[in-house]
Amino acid sequence: MKRNVKKISFIKIGVIGLCFFLFQNANLVSAKDPDYPTRPITCYIAFGAGGVTDLMSRAFLGAASKNIGQPFVPVNKPGAGGTIATMAVLTAKPDGYSLGTITASNAFMAPFSDDAPYKDLNGFTMIVNFGYHIYPLLVRADAPWKTWQEFIDWARKNPRAAKVSLTGAKSTASQGLVLWQVEKREKVEFAYIVFKGSAEVLSALLGGHITMYTSGADAATMDYIKEGKLRILAYMSTEKVPGYENIPSTQELYGFSIPNIGGIFGPKGLPDYVLKKLDDAFARAVKDPEFINFMNRAVTPIVYMNRAQMNKYVEETFPKAGEIIKILKAEEAKEKK
């Protein structure tokens, strides 16, 4: 009887010791998951099919699929300034199988809207930035201004005569943050015309219905620039159209530029082994020849930022955008009264 008691005691001690070991080394055990991913990875795209964000994201995910052993499956979830797709990421299980695209719209603009379902980016994991949009300030080639300064001088003498495009109110469109700062710095006042998308803006500019195009550059705008039908006066982005790098940017002129981000993020709490696999696949994807060729054709520069670099950019940019949006919202509220 005493022997049995002793044997049971040893078993109990062994079980307790094993549990203690597993508890102390839980991170080591979970980090050793060499099989991820074992099934396709869903990536929610915050905008509709066929747009620049959709196409560049699909090209990037296709390149990354070659390096991770499973396909990335793009799923378009447009609407509400990108918040529908963003909420799908926020509420996803942090297992590496549900990711999403992050843009200036859902990162720096949407959180500050009155009905935003998320008010900051603390519930997400930044993973990689792979591209920036180029934002040229375009006028028709037959416009009387050859330079940005000539346009500003005219706008100062003719308040609200410049009809400038926006895809939303100044407080909801990222271009609005830059244009508002230009107005304050140069003591000018623009009249803003709101459109649904860049295609409408381009048509309006070519038809002479607006003075200036402020949306992103794409293959269509580039064709008109190369044909001499449109002229770039300045850039709101730090990135520029190849061959037109001598034209100044607002960063060079004033010290500020448009919030610009184009990458992949996931829910908070992604395991280290997941992040390591994704880091490796994405770092290789930006060097993929097919992806590089696509981005060149789309006039979208490849701008690679790893997790640390993305976090730094977001931490610096998010509060600055919030400060300006708060002022713009107050101004818009006064105008409604």
- Tens of pLDDT, residue by residue over 263-294, are 999 999 999 999 999 999 999 999 999 999 99
Asked whether the whole model's pTM tops 0.95, one would answer: no
Give me the DSSP letters along 281-330. Answer: HHHHHTT-HHHHHHHHHTT--EEEE-HHHHHHHHHHHHHHHHHHHHHHHH
Under a CB-based contact definition with an 8 Å cutoff, are residues 104 and 320 in contact? no
pLDDT higher than 60, residue 14? no
| Mean pLDDT value of segment 10-21 | 42
CB-based burial, 109-129: b 16+ in 10 Å, e otherwise: bbbbbeebebeebeebbbbbb
At 33, the amino acid letter reads D
d(CA 169, CA 164): 12
Contacts of 86 (CB under 8 A, 6+ apart): 44, 46, 100, 102, 106, 110, 118
150-175 pLDDT, tens digit per residue, is: 999 999 999 999 999 998 889 999 99
pLDDT higher than 90, residue 201? yes
| Ranges 114-118, 272-276, 333-337: which has the least confidence | 333-337
d(CA 165, CA 202): 9
Give me the DSSP letters along 58-109. Answer: HHHHHHHHTTTSS-EEEEE---GGGHHHHHHHHTS-SSSSEEEEEEHIIIII
At 15 the pLDDT is 40
Confidence tier at 317 by pLDDT (50, 70, 90): very high
At 104 the pLDDT is 95
Point out which residues pair with 213 in neighbouring strands. Answer: 138
Three-state DSSP at 232 gives strand
Residue with tokens 């509060």: 319
CATH assignment of 41-132+261-319? Answer: 3.40.190.150
pLDDT higher than 70, residue 24? no
At 33 the pLDDT is 60
Confidence tier at 11 by pLDDT (50, 70, 90): very low
Q: Which residue intervals of the chain bear CATH 3.40.190.10?
A: 136-258
Q: Which residue intervals of the chain bear CATH 3.40.190.150?
A: 41-132+261-319
Under a CB-based contact definition with an 8 Å cutoff, are residues 234 and 253 in contact? yes
220-260 pLDDT, tens digit per residue, is: 999 999 999 999 999 999 999 999 999 999 999 999 999 99
Torsion of Cα atoms, 128 then 311 then 326 then 136, to 10°: -40
Under a CB-based contact definition with an 8 Å cutoff, are residues 257 and 250 in contact? yes
Point out which residues pair with 234 in neighbouring strands. Answer: 137
Point out which residues pair with 194 in neighbouring strands. Answer: 166
Torsion of Cα atoms, 255 then 297 then 52 then 260, to 10°: -20
pLDDT higher than 90, residue 198? no
Q: Which CA distances in Å does 123 have to 28, 38, 39?
A: 24, 25, 24
pLDDT higher than 70, residue 311? yes
Q: Residue 121: how many CA atoms within 13 Å on its side-chain side?
A: 25
> Taking all residues of the chain, what is their mean pLDDT, rounded to a whole number?
90
Closest CA to 308 of 103, 108, 127: 127
Confidence tier at 335 by pLDDT (50, 70, 90): confident
41-91 pLDDT, tens digit per residue, is: 999 999 888 888 899 999 999 999 999 999 999 999 998 888 999 999 999
Q: Residue 57: how many CA atoms within 13 Å on its side-chain side?
A: 28
322-331 pLDDT, tens digit per residue, is: 999 999 999 9
Q: What is the second-level CATH architecture of the domain 136-258?
A: 3-Layer(aba) Sandwich (3.40)
| Mean pLDDT value of segment 30-36 | 65
At 51 the pLDDT is 83
